[in-house]
Amino acid sequence: MSNTPRQRLPGDHPPDEEIARMLRVDHAGEYGATRIYEGQLDVLGRGRAAGAIRQMAETEKRHLDRFETLLRERRVRPTLLHPLWTATGYALGAATALMGERAAMACTVAVEEVIDEHYQRQAEQLGEEDPALRETILSFRADEIAHRDLAIAQGAEESLGYDLISAAVKTGSRLAIWLSTRL
């Protein structure tokens, strides 16, 4: 606990509620990520990129497990949109995979870039508030950056329609974050 709480403005959420919202959206994001990779693996499970995708899927599962534990420990409910992310995450992964391995990797780059920014912003918001959570977020952020780099190494940027995929997936991911924070 900090001795000098930072000043809060009228309308600011109390720290506990703010942190609950952070956990809720992070849990949703990691869940969505596991669904994206499941969708990709169902299409590309025997392809050249399968090893890389499986490796990323395993990290996302670990991230998800951590946030599941945190939600349980702190009695935070998951987002009401959880069932929606089951379908849309999977559909996003499968659809981009059907466009080819590079398109799937372009999807990964876009998602991971949005999550990188999102975790960075959360870490800044937390400041000194919850050092353990901040450390978790920063360590996961490093994993997401590694995923982005892996996807680039797998040829993401050579994908046909890279800019279009990137813009669409980023918009969708930001919308999902916005919604999961509020619902």
CB of 182 to Fe ion, least distance (A): 21
Which segment (27-35, 94-102, 123-131, 162-170) binds Fe ion by CB under 5 A? 27-35
d(CA 145, CA 125): 20
CB of 108 to Fe ion, least distance (A): 7
Residue 144 makes contact with Fe ion by CB under 5 A: yes
Residues numbered 146-165 forming contacts with Fe ion, rule: CB under 5 A? 147
- Taking Cα atoms as reference points, which of 29, 27, 32 lies closest to residue 68? 27
Residue 60 makes contact with Fe ion by CB under 5 A: yes
d(CA 69, CA 136): 12
d(CA 125, CA 23): 13
Residue 63 makes contact with Fe ion by CB under 5 A: yes
Residue 38 makes contact with Fe ion by CB under 5 A: no
| Residue whose CB is less far from Fe ion, 16 or 55 | 55
| Residue whose CB is less far from Fe ion, 23 or 33 | 33
Place of tokens 């450390």: 135
Asked if residues 96 and 42 have their Cβ atoms less than 8 Å apart, the reply is no
Q: At 154, which amino acid appears?
A: Q
